[in-house]
Every structure is written in C-alpha cells, then in structure tokens.
Structure 1
C-alpha cells in the first residue's frame, strides 16, 4: 500500500468510494464537482495501482483541522 496526494486522475475513484458509503447513509455525499474543486485536500491510498482509500484534510486555523471523507474500500479494510 502507498499513500500519496490525490491527482486529477483519482477523482472518479474517490467519488466511487465516497458514494458507496453515502448511498448507505454511512457518510455525507460529495459531488464529483466538489471532489474536483477540493482535490488538493485529498490523500489517497493505492494498492496494486487501485485507489482503495481516501481522506481529505481541511485546515481551519493554525492549530485546527478537520478530517473529511475518510473512506476505505470494504474489501481492503483491516489491512493496515
């Protein structure tokens, strides 16, 4: 597994991960447009070239931030 900053090519995979949880009311929905607009806040986790996790970090103040849209592909939970 490898964590890295999200790139524009990751937006649809991030959207799919978030949507899979949002459809079951497990997290808030984010539109694809919102993901593109905030892509610089996302970190993704890759496994074998596939996006299997994501989260966004929104800095609010010098000592305060919020973790948003934390999602892990269910087939890849409990792997570290």
Structure 2
C-alpha cells in the first residue's frame, strides 16, 4: 500500500479524464487509508466508492488521474462555488 495520495476521476458515458463528474482521493492517515470525494462546496467527504469499484458494484467508470488533473478539477469546483456565493 502506498502512503502517497492517489486521485481518481468518476466518469459517466461520454466523459473523459480531462472533465470528470467528480474526483475521489485515497490518502494515508494515522488510522489507515481514507477515501474521500470532492463535494460541490469544495469540501472532501468520506466515501466508499473505491470499495464498490473493487467489488464491481459501482455503475460509473472510475479511472486514476494525476494530482495535477485533480487540482485543476478542485480549482474549477472552488471557483464555481465562489461564483454562487
């Protein structure tokens, strides 16, 4: 298991890694690995999506992405949230 943060794109039909619907991160914590999804308000929330993917029980495509791609997505979410506030 890696201690580096890993990022994943949640893709619907027709999406690609450059414009995912959501981003998930898996990171090490003192209590073990934690999976979180970026919410529309720019906060990270615990999720079990990657566990569902491993069990082949999640209907959307989930693909690894780079930290840079994840950061770009997070910036877009935060910008959108700031515009709505």
TM-score where L is the length of structure 2: 0.28
Whichever of the two has the greater Rg, that structure is 2
TM-score, with structure 1 as normaliser: 0.30
The answer to which structure has the higher helix fraction is 1
